[in-house]
Amino acid sequence: MKYIHSIIIIFFFAGLTSCTDELSNDPIGLLTIDQVDSDPTITTIESSVSSSYLPLKNTLNGIIPDWRWDLGTVFRNDIVLQDIAANDMNKKWNPDGDQPWMDELASFTFTPENQAFNGIWVYDYEGISRVNLAIDFLIDPEIAQKTGLTDSRKNQLLAEAYFLRAFYYFDLVNNFGDVPLVLKSPDSFEEAFAVSVRATADEVRTQINLDLTAAKAIAPDVKHSDIAEPWRASKGAVIALQAKAALYGGDWTKVLSLITELDALGFYSLNANYFDSFDASKEFNEDEVIFAYDHRSGETPNNTNGLGDVIGWGFFSPTDDFINAFEANDPRLLYTIDVPNKRASKIVGSTTELIDYGNKVYIRYADVLLWKAEALNETGDYSGAVAIINQIRTRARTSPTADGSVIPVGTLENRGSSTNPAEIKAWLMSERRVELGFESQRFNDLKRWGTAKTVLTALGRNYQDHNALYPIPQRDIDKSGGSITQNPGY
């Protein structure tokens, strides 16, 4: 089989300024042309899957090098598209003119040329291009036979690859709606051109479900697919993403069924301490995190959490509205953002210093429980929904505080019984904001609840109905010659 170098996909879909620049400077971690065109080995196959995780990391210049602030690719910018856009986070503690594109997200004055959209597009399609190459290897029976790859290892790696492709497309469809659906490495430039059109959001969601179904069927029934590398996507991560996709689709019965399936694995529960999910010293030795990217110090190429550096430069402060969303003495506030020390502890993985190796947590069990509470409320099990909300609140008020202070009696008291679904949903919305603050969930929540316009315009933001989808990066529309179309309103 002839494998065309997957930078072709990046050329068409990543919105880069110059094909000359990018084709001479491959994204970090990508297999070389020589590796791809030669007879692959087990190492090559395993590397093709491992490299597919790299677009999930926040390392500075971790994928596209050379400090391309103009492309929005210095780090993975979910934090800008979600937390800043949702008015939970300001660009900086001290407002200035640095990186004004982030301010445009906050005020909803952006255009399709804003690099925030190009940045996430680049990272997600880079991930997809790598995954597709890995899948091409793994489903080729000749390659498996030549390399001696065992069926169990092949299934594990293929399940990870299907999960990752679904993950990247889930992010793309939520941000942009209709997007190009690329499911294999192209065999020619002509084939690459042919797929530079937008598939419908429904088609993309169908493919997400197909990939997750395929992944679940072959993923090993263990908490960590690889004990030596516990960061790899597991069966639990697959089921959790299935449940999240069902949540976003409003399929409440399916959400409940999948969470029951996840619970049956017996792998996940709330940690006793709220911060244990983020504490860099406890990574992969706690019970709540379901899927996270494994940042580390001292590796080559660099694999640190570069957001620690960015925070040190004065970026990412809380809005007053976010701080005021916390009830009095809620320990989660200081664990999320240490205002006196200007440190987003949850992001860096420490309450005492700006370390550079805290993991990026993408899915954890508290989030899943709140999905379940939402589904129970929507299906009429009001007492079940309130019980879960109170479970989350109980863990919060019984966590030791970050500063050693004593939590006063009466802090975060349980919600009372209610049969009013609107009241319970309001409790749920409030709980999600403070429980999941600075985890890049808020803007998607506001959109799927249909409350984004009400909430953000009340805060003085210029949110309009068409902002429920971000604009397709103008660079990609231009490069496609117009075959990739723009979202309405832009």
DSSP of 84-148: ITTTSEEEESS--SSSHHHHHHHHT---TT-HHHHHHHHHHHHHHHHHHHHHHHHT-HHHHHHHT
Residue 65, in any domain of the structure = yes
Q: What pTM value is reported for the model?
A: 0.94
SS3 content of the chain, % helix, strand, coil (to 5): 55, 5, 45
Residue 11, in any domain of the structure = yes
pLDDT digits (tens, 9 = 90+) for 429-468: 999 999 999 999 999 999 999 999 999 999 999 999 999 9
171 and 220 Cβ atoms separated by less than 8 Å: no
The proportion of the chain whose per-residue pLDDT surpasses 90, expressed as a percent, equals: 87
Residue 4, in any domain of the structure = yes
Q: Is residue 5 pLDDT above 90, yes or no?
A: no
Which range of residues forms the domain containing residue 102? 1-72+94-219+451-479
Rounded to the nearest angstrom, the gap between the alpha carbon of residue 458 and the centroid of all alpha carbons in its chain is: 27
The proportion of the chain whose per-residue pLDDT surpasses 70, expressed as a percent, equals: 92
CA distance 205 to 324: 36
Q: Is residue 304 pLDDT above 50, yes or no?
A: yes
Mean pLDDT in residue range 261-284: 98
Rounded to the nearest angstrom, the gap between the alpha carbon of residue 363 and the centroid of all alpha carbons in its chain is: 8
Amino acid at 319: T
pLDDT digits (tens, 9 = 90+) for 48-97: 999 999 999 999 998 888 999 999 999 999 999 999 999 999 999 999 99
Residue 314, in any domain of the structure = no
Count of domains forming the chain: 1
Residue 365, classified by CB atoms within 10 Å of its CB into exposed (0-12), middle (13-18) or buried (19+), is buried
Residue 189, in any domain of the structure = yes
Cα 301–Cα 306–Cα 307 angle in degrees, nearest 5: 165
Residue 455, in any domain of the structure = yes
CA distance 125 to 95: 32
Mind giving me the DSSP string for 233-285? --HHHHHHHHHHHHHHTT-HHHHHHHHHHHHHH------SSGGGGT-GGGTTS
Residue 471, in any domain of the structure = yes
Cα dihedral across residues 81, 82, 86, 92: positive or negative: negative
Residue 107, in any domain of the structure = yes
> What CATH number is associated with residue 3?
1.25.40.890
